Structures are given as C-alpha cells and as structure tokens.
Amino acid sequence: MTTLALQRVEPLATASAGQPFRTASGGLIDRNRPRDFTFDGKRLTGFHGDTLASALLANGVRLVARSFKYHRPRGILSAGSEEPNALVELRSGARREPNTRATMAELYEGLEATSQNRWPSLALDALSVNALLSPVFAAGFYYKTFMWPASLWEKLYEPMIRRAAGLGRAADAPDPDTYDHAHAHCDVLVIGGGPAGLSAALAAGRSGARVILVDEDFATGGRLLAERREIGGESGADWAARAVAELESMPDVRILSRTTLFGVYDHGAYGAVERVSDHLAVPAAHAPRQRLWRIVARRAVLAAGAIERPHVFGGNDRPGVMLAGAVRTYLNRYGVLPGRRIAVFTSSDDGWRTAADVLEAGGGLAAVIDTRTDVPPALRRMAEAAGARVVTGGYVAGTKGHLGLSAIQVVDGYHSTETIACDCLAMANGWNPVVHLDSHLSRRPVWDEAIHAFVPGTLPSGMRAAGAAAGRFTLAECLESGARAGAEAATACGFTATAETTPRTDPESIDHTPLWRVPKPRGKAFVDFQNDVAASDVELAHREGFRAVELLKRYTTLGMATDQGKTSNLAGLSIMAELTGKDIPSVGTTVFRPPFTPVAIGAFAGHHRGKEFRATRHVPSHAWAEENACVFVETGLWLRPAYFPRPGETDWLDTVVREVETVRARVGICDVTTLGKIDIQGRDALAFIERVCANPFATLPVGKARYAVLLREDGFVMDDGTVARMGETHYVMTASTANAARVMQHLEFCRQWLWPELDVQLASVSEQWAQYAVAGPRARDTLRRIIDPGFDISNEAFPFLACADITVGGGIPARLFRISFSGELAYELAVPAAYGDAAWRALMQAGLPYGITAYGSEALSVMRIEKGHAAGAEINGQTTARDLGLGGMLAKKKDYVGRLMKERPALTDPDRPILAGFRPVDPSDRVRAGAHFLRLDAAPSLEADEGVMTSVAYSPSLRTWIGIGLIRRGAERHGERVRAYDPVRGADIEVEICSPVFVDPKEEKLRV
Amino acid sequence: MSEAATTRAPSSLWRPRGAWEGVAKTGRHGAANGPAGIRLTLRENFGLATLIAADGKEADLQAALAERFGLSLPETGAAHVEGERGLIWSAPGQWLALAPSPQGLRDLPEVLRGVAAVTDQSDSRALVRISGPQARALLAKGVAVDLHPRAFGPGRAAVTSIAHIGVQLWQRDAGPTYEIAVARSFAGSFWQWLEHAAAEFGYEVEASAV
Amino acid sequence: MRIRCPYCGERDNGEFSYLGDAAPQRPDGLEASAQAMHDYVYLRDNPAGTIRELWYHAAGCRSWLVVTRDTRTHAIEAVEPARDVARARRSGEAA
C-alpha cells in the first residue's frame, strides 16, 4: 500500500531529528534554520539551503511523481535542471505552478508542494492500469489507436488521453505577481558558475572588462559545491566562495544567480530569466516574481557544465534509481544520504567516487557493479574492504520494489544472476556536455570519440566553450580552460587579460567506457523518463521505418516536453545507431532550440498584461470626455470617443442619431487629433508633394487646402487626406488615423531613398496639435466666439478650403482649416496640445447658445457615409482611385508614386467594382456591411458575385439604413436593383444602387 | 505658469493642461523602506522645437545657433544642455531645441529662415527628469541602449523606445540624471510603465521647480 | 538580430522595419515603360547569401538604411544610410 520501503528502516542514530536521511554534519545547508514545508499535505521539515528534492530525500520521501503515460511511480533522478521525473505543483491558489522541478525549487518556510498526474493519491493511482495497457500506449499510439472514426477524436479520444496522460494543472486565477524586464550589456558574458565559469569570470573581471556571470543555481560554484575536491589546498566550495567574493568586489562584474540563460540569439544577444522571488512564499512588496533579462555581450564563455547519463536497463525508472553525481550532490552539498544501502552501477571511474563518498559519510555501500572488466585494483579494494559486493564486467538487468527500489538484479561476467538488496542505485554512465545553448543558432554539435559524447561544433560568433561544456571534464581542465577562455574573451574586447596559473587540484581519473543499454534488460528499460519512452519504443520506431533522428523524436516523443531530452537524447540515438548499424555521429542529433528550460509566459509578458498589454493613446479632449460619460472605442492604439450618451438615451443609436441631427441642424465638435499631421517644409516641398500625391498641387495657393490622394507604387490607393499650404514653402499634410505611421514612413522613404536630391524637411506634428472638427450651420458662429478678434472668418474672407495661422483665447497660436468630412459648413481648428482641453471646453461653451453637441467617431462615420466619402473599409489596399470615384482628379502631366502601375489592364477594367450608394427597396430593411451583391435573378456563386457592401449606417437624414460599397460598373448603374446577399447573417434583401452622396449632392451646405 | 502664457490667456478657461496632469501623482511611492532610489521630476511649460537643417546648410545652422543659444550643434548622438536650455540630436540633420518656456523659441523660425525648418513641438512631448541612485537600473528595465558610463555619459542622447513607446532621452549629468521625452498621447501608458519599473526601488515624484 | 545603425549605434532588430531588396531602382514614371515599372515593383532576387536590403529605423532616427546581410548566417557586413547610397548613385549616373 502506501508504506514506502524506506520508512521501515530505522533512522541513522546520528540523523537530524525528523529527517531520517540527513547526515549528522556536513553539507552547505544551515542546520540552525529549519524550514517547514508540506508535500501532498504532509508536514515535513528541511533546512535553509535545501532544495525541495533534497528535503524530500532527507525525509525519506522517494516517491514524488507519476509518469506521463503509464503513471509509473517516479522519484528523483538528478539534482539539477535536467530532472525529468520529480515534477510537482508548487504553491496553491492563484500562485499554483505546475511542472516545477523539485530539484530546482529552493526550500522556503511554508512551501507547499503537491504531486501531480495521479488520482486519487500518489501511492494509489487508479490510472496506473495504463501500465498494463502499455502495448496500446507504445510509440505512435496517437496515430494508430485513435484513427477511426475521426468524429470521435474531439468527443472521446482527446479528452480521454488528456485525462490519462499529462502533467500538472495551471492555476485558474490571474497571477497576482508582477514580472519585470531588464536589459544588460557587457564585454564578457559567462554562462555557468562552476569552476570553469568562475575562472573565466575572474580572468575577465580582473582585466577590467564588464562581466556578467549567469548561474541557474541559488548558490554559485556548480559541481564544486557537490564534490569533495581540493583546489590549492582548500575545499572546492571554499575556493568558489572566495571567487564569488572577489567577483562581487569588482564594480563592473555582475553575478546573476537563480538565473537561467535560456536562449542564444544572433549578434551576441541572449535571453535569461532571473527567479527573483521564487525562493520566497510571496515576493517582497513591490518586488517582481521573475525578471526577464535581454543581455547583449561582445563575447561569451559557455561554461554550462555537463549532464550525467543514465543507464538503460529494466526498471531503471524506479524511485531510488538516481544519477551517481546527484547522489554525491545530495550527500556533499545537502548532507543527505539518499539510501541506507546504496549500490553503484558504473561504466567509469567516476562512479567509484560516489562509492567513496558514501563510505566517507558513513553510509552503507551495498555493491558496485562496473560494466568494465578492468577496474583499478585500489577502487575494488576500497569497496570490498567496506563489505560491498563488487561485480566487474557485469550489469544491472532489472530492479525490484513496489513504490521504490528494494533490490537490483545483477548479471555478472559469466551471465549468472544474483539479487542484491539496496534502496538506492547510483548510475554513472559518463557525462554529456551541455551543448544546447551553442546549438541554438542552428549549429550542430560534433561527436568526440575520446569522451564518447557530443561537444560543441562551430560555436556562435564571439562564443568560447570551457570546462565540462567543452568536454574537458577534470577539475584541473575546467579551471585552466575557463581562465583561458575568460582571458581570451576579455582580450578580444580590448582589455589586457592573462590566464593566471591555475592552482593545483587533487588527482582524478575519468576513465570511461559507456554502455548504451544493457544486453538483456528485465522489464521496461526507459530511455526518456519524462515521456515514458522505453528502449522497446526506439526498436518499434526502427522497425516501422522512423529511423531519422527527427522522425524518431516525433514518432516516439523522445526528447520532448519540459526537459527536452537532457538525460535521454543520447541514449535514444545510441540505440538507433546500434539498430541501424551506424555510428552515433552518422545518426546525428536533433536541433536544440530555445528555451533551455521552460520560461513562464508571465516573464515574457512582463509589464504588458491586462490594460497594459499594449500602449494606449489618449486624445486631448479625453478628460472632458470622461467627465461626460463618453463611450470610447479602440482605434489602433488610440482610445477615441465613440459617442456621448446623454441622460435618457438608452441605445447607442439614439445617441448617434441625436449627435448627427445636431451637427446637420446646428453645430457639433469632434476630436480629430488622431489624424496624422506632417509639416512639410523646404525649397522643394512642392516638388516633393507633387511626387507623393496623385492629384496636382502646383496651383495650390498659400492659404488654401486641397484633398490629397496617395497611391502605392503598385497603383492602389494608400491613403487620403489633405494638404494645406501654410506658407510659400510650408505645407501641412494629414493622413488617416490608421495610416499615420505608415504614411510618415513612406514619405521618409520617398525623401531619403527615391528623391534624395530634393531639399525637403519632414516633421510629424501629430502630437503637437490638438485638432477639432467644428461642423454644422452654426460652426462659424461658434468659432467666432473663441478666435481672437481681428481675423475674419466670413465666407468671403475665409471660403471653403481656406487655411490660416490664427490665434485663439488671447494670443494662443492656432491653425484653422475650412475643410469638411461631414458635408456641413465645417472647420478644423488646431491648437497646441496643452490647450486642447481648454479649447474643447471653450468650444462647448461658445456653442451653448446654438445647442452644440460633442460627437464621436460613430456620428463622424455616419456623416461620412451619408456623404459617400471613402474611408478605411473602402481604402482597403485593393481599390484604385478610379474605383473610389477619384479617377478624375488624378494628375496627367507629372510623375508620382503609382502613376504607371495604376494603368495596368486589370486596374482599368471597366468591369471592376466601383464605389456606389445603396438603399434598401423596403425602407424598413437593414443593410449590412459585408453583404455581397447579386443580380436579382442570379443564384449565389462566386461567378455571380458583383461586389461587396463596405460601410453601412442608419441615416438620420434619410430615416433609413444606407450603405456604400463596391459593385461592378457601379457608376453606370444608379437606379438598378440588386440583391444584398449576406448568408452569414441570413439576410438577403433588395437594394437600389444610387449615388454614394446621399446628403447635399450639390455641396451647397459646404460653401455657405 | 509662464509669464507670457498668463498674459495671453485672460480667461480662466484657457488654462494649459500639463501632459502629466491626471497621470502622475506627486509624493513618495513604491517600496517604502529607506531613501527613495528614484526621483522623478515632472517638467511642464518648457519650449521644444524640431530643427531640421536645409540641404547643405548645417554650417549656417551651426553658426546661427551658436549666436542665438551660445551652444554648438551637437554631433550625432549628443546633447548640449545647459540649465533649462539645450540642443539635442534626434536624427541626421535634425535636433531638438529645448528652452525654459515655449516663448523662448518663438522667434526661431525667423532667425533660422532658409537655414532650417523649425517646427514648434512644445506641446508634443511629456518630459520627465529621472535621477536618484537607481536611475540607471530603472532605465535598464526599459531602454535597450547601453547606459553604462563607459558607453553613455553626460551629453549623450538616444532615440529609442521603452515598453514599445517611442522616447528620446539624454543624460544631463553624471549623477546620473536623465531626461526622457515621450509623445504626449502616450504619457499615461508611459507613466504606467515607469511606476511598474520604479516600484521596487521606491520613488519620489515632484513637480518641476521651473 | 542586431543592426548597427550608422547614427544610433547597434540596436535590436525590433527597432527596425524591413522592406527588402535594395537593388531595384525606380524608373522615372513619365518615361519608363510599364514593363520596367513592373519589374521595379515586383521583381526581387532571393539569394542564399549576401544581399543588400532596405531597413527603416522606425523606433530610432527614422533613417532608411541599406544593410548588407548574409541570408544564411544573418552576418551583417555593412550598414549605410540609404540617402547617402541614393545620392552616390545619382552622382554616379550624372558622371
């Protein structure tokens, strides 16, 4: 049942109270600072300096998780970020975080951890029957088992698989924490804080270079904290502490600990995530939970170390089976003996160090099984002297135990089998340099036969590899290659740096002959623990022809998910190599991509969430609008007033109708600041405008404005606006709200690239001027009350399309344009933006006697549709000036952007859809934008499609819905009836084609 | 309020509205322990204009400005700021002229006629001065430009973006003190970012003394 | 990717927007044949290797730039102000 094998074992007499597997002394934990935590609700205690994994092991908890597909019991394999098994849910409620590696979670007071992917409990998991169905869940099961009938996929198969297989649950409440972004720049970036990284940082830092050292651990030192090693007579951990202290004393060196460098990008750009507050229950007030760093470095030293390889044998996933280096980490760094009787399964001298460390700590060494026949006699003597069984030239074939390891089945060199009782098995099958980061720019690692591992190939520009990451595994090599790489990197940045002689280290042997999988495993031999991929799945993939590495990965899911195959890739490749009779380098590897370890979406989003997802721009009348119950609409980044409901108006249409009727009968003002406004000055300003606008401007006098249409070079309309001539060589161009930035970029393109010889100066004044449309029969009366006396705006003195620099409010500079979008007598008044709020209030007050209204973008849109003015729905990148009824105004005798291409046959085809107006034959019918036009007798088909309704509005002037749209030969068909067919909304009504100008077609109102 | 603005606005209705009005609150905010790491000074009522040299007239512009401002035209990426007036590089052949009030620049178009296009931008930007021991750390959260003293010191200027909002920034002194100009319509969103970024350092917001 | 703007210094490519091949030259719209204009608007090489292309420093100094880049490696060989390149070409044509 739920009893763990280990809990039956009596605690060591010397163990810390309540932590039966804690050694009496040693380790880098602070035994004076106990930390209470819970796992699946059970209260446990660890120490400050523990990880969740080390604290669980100290408490004798070996069963930590259930596996992805088969729900097999899993424990803790490693002591680092490569952990595939020990994934837990951390915290609760809104802060619940799934798939956290227990090996990376720093213990804090009150930590809550929950096992995941199990029901009803970790020890009794109903879905472990999946293990009995393992033939069903073998490689490719997605593609085979659930093929037919397809209709069941969404309803049955997917929910079933989702429930049966999977990892943790995300929090279902908004994340209460904040996330931060930061940029950093340095000469030398050092990735990894082990012996190589620290040496590199010291060598570079001492030269005066700006150095950033990034280390994913919360304590800097890497394997120095995990091994019993000496450097220059002091312990590795002491040496690391001194190195850190020296680096911290350098003003231009920054150590980012708890920080994972997750991505390498072009030209020296790197991404890293700092877990600022993950080691706290709740971040300190105003402190972010995590910080995403974008680092730019001139040079980088990759010292990310190496990851130990498991052996592939039967039942190698049973809790208690661990990496040999991890056993040393738990022992030496955390003071935890992960078992009472520890066995070592090794293919290298390295594994014997685990045996030695266990003995040194007074632990029980059950056995050492070395796959090699030649083992240094001193090592054998050491183990045998301690009473351990030593097997050479043999292997572990299988394991026994219910929810944790109780014994191993060992095959010796003579093929005889024995069972050895043990509760922990340490696997030492060699190490793989961390080649992920140097592979991020599509560079493949290369095979090094001497160390039986992939090492970095061609490194990204500016990057050097050092230490174990470069395949230099001994401590002496780490220190030496690190210092050299750091010095070289600093020298390349122009500093005078030398790699000082490295201190002496104690001798070590790393002799190694890997065994990629045992000859005859007993039970499922796992290659990829996280994805439940066994050696038999690789064989299946081979049989079925999925032999290329990329296919092997997709077919079996080997190397996918949160750990990206850190402990499994090479095992999978080596088995495929054996099956195909190739060597490992010819099988190759898959490509590693960022991120190195999972990064929370919140860290990428940073400040940009909720309302701050993107920036919001406010118009100058925003404060007044807010005071007056305005309803806003998002237009690009702008928050524009849409309409201004008054008490008693219950429907938006009531409000919009009232706003339109007020403008048509009296006066209204509308904030049109969102238009792009560009000052064009210079000797050649006119020549420039002539080339960017399709209509002529040579005759435009000072003090006059003109409608302007801009084409793209391919002949379609880019945008429209106005050009006003404020002075001899000074023009102001407006662009539509949506296209303002695009038009500015286009004008700069024309100025800098197409016609650099023109003397013209462009300045955006969009933000300088608040601009308001003042429209309606009483517009002039209203304006007169706010502009300074002395400027005559009578129709004679300031006719339609006049413009001038004026003053308002007693000397405030302003610009006045007599232009109209509504079809009424109208002006646009521009005042300096700081006076925008005042000018708006002044206009509202000045218009009070005339019944003035504020109107928003909705009423503006209704009035422009009533006038048949093309806007965004019509200027959609597919329409020509001719399509929009603007063909007649285009210049004949000048070159301008789009001039030639608009003459292409397809763009001058008389059958093209042309702008027209539409009114329903039955006035009670509502027309809808998006409806397609069909002849009355035509059946709906693509061939019969005559065009599309682009904009519609309820017209208060006509008291019916109206629309404008594009229909074949639209200009010639006024009076004809067609269908407006809208199958999406089930509408099919008869409409009459008419002039797009519904109101005041003779334009009498404009010119009074 | 500047003296000219008062004279020209007889009616109380014509009060200029500062770009930070309704956006920034003065006082101490964010982390409350210890002295504030950041000081934010809201600048109002300054004068700002874009100067764009006419083709081949940079030398003439240089001479005219030296006479007018007593400031030389900054080279690429530089800012020449003295007190509340200065010239700040913004683009090839383009500079911002900064003055204590909008009136301070009103005669520039006339002075520089034929030499440069002058465009009043006094109202187009919200301006904030950033100082305090954590000023550089604060800006590193938004500015992708290297602000380390070896790369960017007093008299340097950059046009870049913060939180996807276009900014122009220049360093006034080695304190370090920076000034950031941001388009007026973005002032609210920019301030949201600033508060978010400054919170952990503790920050003090004050109205400009000028 | 990082691009060294000749005016602003090295910046992240997020500050720039991309246009494409800088080789096509706009013919005079009054004199050119429709075919020549068509080629200018639509015909682009897409080399696996070095190409000169137009970028716009939208979030910086608003300069158009001619960037010489290897499409296989992203290695950037040169960044020149487009206006200078265009002017040099004009004077070359005049000579």
pLDDT tens for residues A360-398? 999 999 999 999 999 999 999 999 999 999 999 999 999
| Closest C-alpha among A604, A613, A748 to residue A676 | A748
Q: Examine the pLDDT at A48 and tell me if it is beyond 60.
A: yes
**pLDDT averaged over every residue in chain A:** 93
Residue A15 DSSP symbol: S
* pLDDT for the residue numbered A591: 82
Report the 10 Å Cβ neighbour count for A28. Answer: 17
Q: Which residues have CB under 8 Å from A28's CB, separation 6+?
A: A49, A219, A225, A237, A333, A334
Q: Is B27 exposed, middle or buried (0-12, 13-18, 19+ CB in 10 A)?
A: exposed
Q: At what angle do helices A535-543 and A569-580 cross, to 10 degrees?
A: 40
A759–B196 CB contact, under 8 Å: no
Is CATH 2.102.10.10 the right assignment for the domain spanning A902-1007? Answer: no
Q: Is the dihedral of CA A580, A586, A589, A590 positive or negative?
A: negative
A266–C28 CB contact, under 8 Å: no
Average pLDDT over residues C74-86: 97
Chains near A (3 or more Cβ pairs under 8 Å): B, C
Which CATH code is given to the segment(s) A676-765? 3.30.70.1400
**A835 Cβ under 8 Å from any chain B Cβ:** yes
Annotated domain spans of chain C: 2-94
Q: Is A1 exposed, middle or buried (0-12, 13-18, 19+ CB in 10 A)?
A: exposed
pLDDT tens for residues A431-457? 999 999 999 988 889 999 999 999 999
pLDDT tens for residues A661-709? 999 999 999 999 999 999 999 999 999 999 999 999 999 999 999 999 9
Q: Which of residues 91-120 of B touch A (CB under 8 A)?
A: 102, 116-117, 119-120
| Closest C-alpha among A978, A991, A957 to residue A657 | A957
| Beta bridge partner(s), residue B181 | B127, B168
DSSP string, A832-888: EGGGHHHHHHHHHHHTGGGT-EE--HHHHHHHHHHTT---TTTSSSS--TTTTT-GG
B-chain CB neighbours of A288 within 8 Å are 200
* Pairing mode, strands A826-832 and A812-817: antiparallel
pLDDT tens for residues C24-71? 999 998 999 999 999 999 999 999 999 999 999 999 999 999 999 999
pLDDT tens for residues A176-195? 999 999 999 999 999 999 99
* Pairing mode, strands C17-21 and B38-43: unpaired
* pLDDT for the residue numbered A3: 31
* pLDDT for the residue numbered B208: 82
Secondary-structure class of domain A179-306+433-492 per CATH: alpha beta
C41–A713 CB contact, under 8 Å: yes
| Closest C-alpha among A752, A737, A743 to residue A864 | A737
For residues B76 and C11, give the distance between their C-alpha atoms in angstroms, rounded to a whole number. 15
Chains near C (3 or more Cβ pairs under 8 Å): A, B
Q: Which residues have CB under 8 Å from A373's CB, separation 6+?
A: A392, A393, A413
For A748, the token pair is 């700069």
Upstream peptide bond of A251 is cis (omega within 30 degrees of 0): no
Q: Which fold has domain B22-45+123-207?
A: Gyrase A; domain 2 (3.30.1360)
**3-state DSSP assignment of residue A755:** coil
pLDDT tens for residues A276-316? 999 999 999 999 999 999 999 999 999 999 999 999 999 99
A880 within 8 A of A700, measured Cβ to Cβ: no
| Closest C-alpha among A876, A870, A884 to residue A914 | A884
Q: What architecture (CATH level 2) is domain A5-129?
A: Roll (3.10)
Upstream peptide bond of A120 is cis (omega within 30 degrees of 0): yes
- What is the Cα gyration radius of chain A? 38
The pTM for the full model equals 0.94
B-chain CB neighbours of A618 within 8 Å are 185, 187-188
Q: For residue A524, what pLDDT band results from cuts at 50, 70 and 90?
A: very high
For A788, the token pair is 């300074």
**B158 Cβ under 8 Å from any chain C Cβ:** yes
B55–A682 CB contact, under 8 Å: yes
**3-state DSSP assignment of residue A431:** strand
User: Which run of H or E residues covers position A987?
Assistant: strand A987-994
**B93 Cβ under 8 Å from any chain C Cβ:** no
Give the residue on C whose Cα is nearest the Cα of A461. Answer: C75
C63 within 8 A of C57, measured Cβ to Cβ: yes
CA distance to A653, A783, A842, B12, per residue, from A852 (Å): 19, 12, 12, 21
Q: How far is B15 from chain C (nearest CA, A)?
A: 33
Q: How far is A873 from chain B (nearest CA, A)?
A: 25
pLDDT tens for residues A889-912? 999 999 999 999 999 999 999 999
For residues A321 and A525, give the distance between their C-alpha atoms in angstroms, rounded to a whole number. 12
B38 within 8 A of B204, measured Cβ to Cβ: yes
**C38 Cβ under 8 Å from any chain A Cβ:** yes
**3-state DSSP assignment of residue A37:** strand
For A11, the token pair is 């605690």
| Beta bridge partner(s), residue A991 | A920, A978
Q: Examine the pLDDT at A5 and tell me if it is beyond 60.
A: no
C61–B91 CB contact, under 8 Å: yes
Q: Which residues have CB under 8 Å from A724's CB, separation 6+?
A: A704, A705, A706, A731, A732, A733, A803, A817
Average pLDDT over residues A310-338: 98
Which CATH code is given to the segment(s) B47-120? 3.30.70.1520
Annotated domain spans of chain A: 5-129, 179-306+433-492, 317-403+415-428, 640-675+767-855, 676-765, 902-1007
C1–A901 CB contact, under 8 Å: no
End-to-end CA distance of chain C: 38
Give the distance from CA A721 to its chain's centroid: 38
Q: For residue A142, what pLDDT band results from cuts at 50, 70 and 90?
A: low
Shared fold status for A179-306+433-492 and A317-403+415-428: yes
A701 within 8 A of A778, measured Cβ to Cβ: no
| Closest C-alpha among A745, A721, A732 to residue A680 | A732
Q: Tell me which CATH homologous superfamily contains domain A640-675+767-855.
A: Probable tRNA modification gtpase trme; domain 1 (3.30.1360.120)
Q: Locate all alpha helices (DSSP H) within chain C, ordered by sequence.
A: 34-42, 82-94
- What is the Cα gyration radius of chain B? 17
CA distance to A30, A714, A886, per residue, from A882 (Å): 81, 14, 5
Q: Which fold has domain A317-403+415-428?
A: FAD/NAD(P)-binding domain (3.50.50)
* pLDDT for the residue numbered A8: 34
DSSP string, A682-744: STTHHHHHHHH-SS--TTPPTTBEEEEEEE-TTSSEEEEEEEEEEETTEEEEEE-TTTHHHHH
A-chain CB neighbours of B120 within 8 Å are 768, 813, 832
Q: Examine the pLDDT at A807 and tell me if it is beyond 80.
A: yes
Out of A265, A741, A749, the one facing C64 most closely (by C-beta) is A749
Burial string for A437-471 (b: 16+ CB within 10 Å, else e) reads bbbbbebbbebeeebbbbbbeebbebbbbbbbbbb
Report the 10 Å Cβ neighbour count for A936. Answer: 9
DSSP string, A270-314: EEEEE-SSTTSSSPPTT--SEEEEEEEEEEEEE---EEEPPP--B
> Residues for chain A: how many in total?
1008
pLDDT tens for residues A937-966? 999 999 999 999 999 999 999 999 999 999
> Residues for chain B: how many in total?
210
For A132, the token pair is 């009995």
Q: For residue A149, what pLDDT band results from cuts at 50, 70 and 90?
A: low
For residues A430 and A663, give the distance between their C-alpha atoms in angstroms, rounded to a whole number. 82
For residues A333 and A58, give the distance between their C-alpha atoms in angstroms, rounded to a whole number. 12
A775 within 8 A of A847, measured Cβ to Cβ: no
For residues A285 and B22, give the distance between their C-alpha atoms in angstroms, rounded to a whole number. 25
Largest CA distance in chain B: 56
- What is the Cα gyration radius of chain C? 14
Q: Which residues have CB under 8 Å from A667's CB, separation 6+?
A: A774, A775, A776, A777, A778, A779, A781, A782, A847, A850, A851, A852, A853
DSSP string, B189-203: HHHHHHHHHHGGG-E
**A726 Cβ under 8 Å from any chain B Cβ:** no
User: What parts of chain B have a pLDDT lower than 50?
Assistant: 1-10
Annotated domain spans of chain B: 22-45+123-207, 47-120
Q: How many CB pairs under 8 A join A and B?
A: 161
* pLDDT for the residue numbered B9: 42
Query: A37-40 long-range contacts, Cβ below 8 Å, gap at least 24?
Result: A37/A107, A37/A108, A37/A109, A37/A110, A37/A111, A37/A112, A37/A113, A38/A111, A38/A112, A38/A113, A39/A88, A39/A113, A39/A114, A39/A115, A40/A113, A40/A114, A40/A115, A40/A121, A40/A122
* pLDDT for the residue numbered B7: 39
For residues A311 and A314, give the distance between their C-alpha atoms in angstroms, rounded to a whole number. 10
The single residue listed with the structure tokens 């118009």 is A619
**B144 Cβ under 8 Å from any chain C Cβ:** yes
Q: For residue A880, what pLDDT band results from cuts at 50, 70 and 90?
A: very high
C-chain CB neighbours of A749 within 8 Å are 19, 56, 64
Q: Tell me which CATH homologous superfamily contains domain C2-94.
A: Folate-binding superfamily (3.30.2270.10)
| Closest C-alpha among A424, A377, A362 to residue A396 | A424
**pLDDT averaged over every residue in chain B:** 92
DSSP string, B130-191: EESTTHHHHHHTT--S--STTT--TTBEEEEEETTEEEEEEEEETTTEEEEEEEGGGHHHHH
